[in-house]
Amino acid sequence: MRKQTPYLVLLFILTLTLSGFNNVEQIQDNPPTEFELLVQYLEENNNYINSELAPSLVLAPEIKENLKNKKYLVLDIRSEAWFDYGHIKNAVNVKGPELLNYFKNEITPAEYDKITVVCYSGQSAAYYAGLLRLYGFDNTYSLKWGMSSWAGEFAENIWVKNSTDELVDNLETTANPMPENGSYPALTTGKTDGESILKQRIEEVFAIPYKESIVKTAAITETPADFYVMNYMAEEKYNFGHLKGAVHYTPNQSLATTTNLATLPTDKRVVVNCDTGQSAAYVVAYLNVLGYNVGNLAYGSNSYMNSTLVEKGWNGFSEKEIHEFPIVE
């Protein structure tokens, strides 16, 4: 038995060595994909969309109280004509697609306590603020309800016009099952680390007009098979009534690799439905960067059950959201 001991030890060492080589070969044969590198980087650094930081909304009274505060910057991304018609005092007019360049080359973002992006309804501003947050500008916010909350003349053709009850009697109240985990999108930036992939993807997404992310309720009701509706709100609201076929996702936690991110389909358009379209816009920004084919349900549930949301205090738009603050013409 003693004579066999050196042989057995040598055999054991050889087995471990070969096993190690096999593991190295396996790792080399299956390196992480760009998607995996990107998500790992995002989840290890801030994990914004799956945290309580999202959505980063500012209310109109806060901006009003800080009009003389040089540490507060307001960026108005509406058209030049609407900006000239009326805007918040000291606001700067910048086109949405140009915001990233503006942050990188025109200002020093760290000099401000808050940089608030403002649009007509709060939805496109939230989208761009979401992209800027992902890029690393974590003092970026969006104005809730947009300029519609600043004065009634802006709200009339935006939130007032688009807040309806057209589907309130045709909603589901039973839960739809969440799909099994599937594949992730394929990214092809050519970059080899998470941070570089992220910046490249954000630059690519900035080049796509936000209007291409908008999905109206009518499109979903007319061709429901074309969409996967992600109901991104509290379970109580989902259970009360949701669009037919919609699947519930818990805000601030369901879009991680350790939770439900892999359940999102890559073979059809994902539409994010929240109360107002503003939380959803932050999610759409995130999922666009990850490579999903995703859209934002315009005006959220306010587009089809506004009165119910107002009655229950569930982010329903009403006149009380309009402050009639002064504008600069």
Q: Which CATH architecture has domain 48-162?
A: 3-Layer(aba) Sandwich (3.40)
Decide if domain 194-312 falls under CATH 3.30.420.130: no
219 has a pLDDT exceeding 80? yes
**φ/ψ of residue 124, rounded to 5:** -65, -35
Quote the pTM value.
Answer: 0.91
Q: Mean pLDDT over all residues of the chain? A: 93
Same topology between domain 48-162 and domain 194-312: yes
Provide the token pair at 147. 């300029």
Compute and round to an integer the Cα radius of gyration of the chain. 24
Pick from 21, 34, 31: which is nearest to 193 by CA?
A: 34
Provide the token pair at 329. 């013409």
11 has a pLDDT exceeding 70? no
Residue-wise pLDDT for 135-183, tens only, equals 999 999 999 999 999 999 999 999 999 999 999 999 999 999 999 999 9
Q: How far apart are CA 228 and CA 288, in angstroms?
A: 15
Residue-wise pLDDT for 59-118, tens only, equals 999 999 999 999 999 999 999 999 999 999 999 999 999 999 999 999 999 999 999 999
264 has a pLDDT exceeding 80? yes
Amino acid 30: pLDDT? 84
Average pLDDT (1-9) is 46
User: Per-domain residue ranges for the chain?
Assistant: 48-162, 194-312
Weakest mean pLDDT among 3-12, 38-47, 99-108, 265-274: 3-12
Provide the token pair at 138. 């974590």
DSSP assignment letter at 157: I
